Amino acid sequence: MKTVSARLWNRLSSINLTVALCLLLTMDLVWGYFCLNRRTALFTPLNDLGLIPWAQTYGSHNLLATGWFFLLLTLLALLAVNTFACTTSRVAQLLRAKGPGGWQRLALRLAPHVMHYGLIVILAGYLCSYLFTQVLTSSTLAPGSHLSLPGAGGQVQLLAVEPEYYQGERLAFWKNEVIALRARLLLSDNTGQREAFLSCNRPVRFQGYSLHLIDFAPKSLNGMKMKTRIDLHVRKDPGVALYLAGMALFSLGLILYFYQWIVHREAHR
């Protein structure tokens, strides 16, 4: 029994498997480019629906165009398992054979493995995000109107929209268009009220939800007069912290790896 599990572990931690998976992923993603390019509308709901409902509807009914995506998920799952097995084996070897140089040297030697673990955390974060995210799409707010957050007892009210119109000469196509927009929100729950400012790349976090500004009106000082409104995406995404942590871990590994590379090069001069 032990030999079977050891053999399976060895197979799973094979670097040849990594190479094969990376090649298959590359080819699958190139295939995916052409499918996504031709049938973009099929994949757009994936942002809001989540993985399972999307797979049961758009995904399973258009397998010719979405097959690459299911293959991608399978290959990524295999890559995560292979990366975990391979990295864990190497880390165990490194920890057993502590060479000269102490902990600092060991930390530098662990750099590539930190990157590998970072990748696994990122993939886990994405999976978590696509499986468990709650999305309220197209929540439109006009000044004075409010939005209730489901299950949280919180309310978001739009107090005012503060647009900044471009008045310079350099961006001719942008003259009198909104160049920056700030939406003043009132966030209230059982504990009290507070004001927050929402803009294009600055979401507001409230009661576990993140509020993202997707669109707004009016966009121009001239032209057709439209009522003032903002369109929001409201999301509760439990995977964010995980994939951000994964990115931080991967970046740390990368920095350590380059530091080790430079130190190694200097030592050999």
Partner 1 sequence: MSMITSHTAFQFAAVLYALALAAALAPGKRSLPVNLPLAAAIGCNLLAVGLRCHQAWPMLPMHLGPVALPLCLGLFYPLAARNCEPSLRRPTQRILLAVVVLLTALALCFPKDFYLPFLKSKTLLAHGFLWFGVVGKACFILSAAWAANALLPRQSSHAISAMGRSHRWAALGFSLWTASMFSGELWSYLGWGTPVVWEDPALTLTMAAWFFYGCLLHLHLTRSWSQTHRALYASLGGLVMLTLTCLPDLGPFRIPFGL
The one among 40, 93, 104, 191 contacting partner 1 by CB under 8 A:
40
Nearest CB to partner 1, comparing residues 47 and 188:
47
**According to the binding rule CB under 8 A, does residue 46 interact with partner 1?**
yes
**According to the binding rule CB under 8 A, does residue 147 interact with partner 1?**
no
The one among 26, 60, 167, 176 contacting partner 1 by CB under 8 A:
26
**According to the binding rule CB under 8 A, does residue 243 interact with partner 1?**
yes
In angstroms, the CA 60 to CA 75 distance is 18
**According to the binding rule CB under 8 A, does residue 13 interact with partner 1?**
no
The one among 2, 3, 5, 37 contacting partner 1 by CB under 8 A:
37
The one among 170, 227, 268, 269 contacting partner 1 by CB under 8 A:
170
Q: For the chain, what is the HEC assignment?
A: CHHHHHHHHHHHCCHHHHHHHHHHHHHHHHHHHHHHHHCHHHHCCHHHHCHHHHHHHHHHHCHHHHHHHHHHHHHHHHHHHHHHHHHHHHHHHHHHCCCCCHHHHHHHHCHHHHHHHHHHHHHHHHHHHHHHCEEEEEEEECCCCEEEECCCCEEEEEEEEEEEECCCCCCHHHCCEEEEEEEEEEEEECCEEEEEEEECCECEEECCEEEEEEEEECCECCCCCCCCEEEEEEEECCCHHHHHHHHHHHHHHHHHHHHHHHHHHHHCC
The one among 111, 178, 183, 185 contacting partner 1 by CB under 8 A:
178
Q: Name the one range near partner 1 by CB under 8 A: 34-42, 88-96, 187-195, 223-231.
A: 34-42
**According to the binding rule CB under 8 A, does residue 25 interact with partner 1?**
yes
Nearest CB to partner 1, comparing residues 103 and 173:
173
**According to the binding rule CB under 8 A, does residue 203 interact with partner 1?**
yes
Please tell me whether residue 147 adopts helix, strand or coil conformation. strand
Which residues 90-129 are close enough to bind partner 1 by CB under 8 A? 126, 129
196 bridge partner residues = 185
Please tell me whether residue 234 adopts helix, strand or coil conformation. strand
**According to the binding rule CB under 8 A, does residue 197 interact with partner 1?**
no
**According to the binding rule CB under 8 A, does residue 226 interact with partner 1?**
no
| Positions in the binding site for partner 1 (CB under 8 A) | 15-16, 18-19, 22-23, 25-27, 29-30, 32-33, 36-37, 40, 43-44, 46-47, 126, 129, 133, 135, 170-171, 173, 178-181, 200-203, 210, 212, 214, 233, 235, 237, 240, 243, 247, 250-251, 254, 258, 261
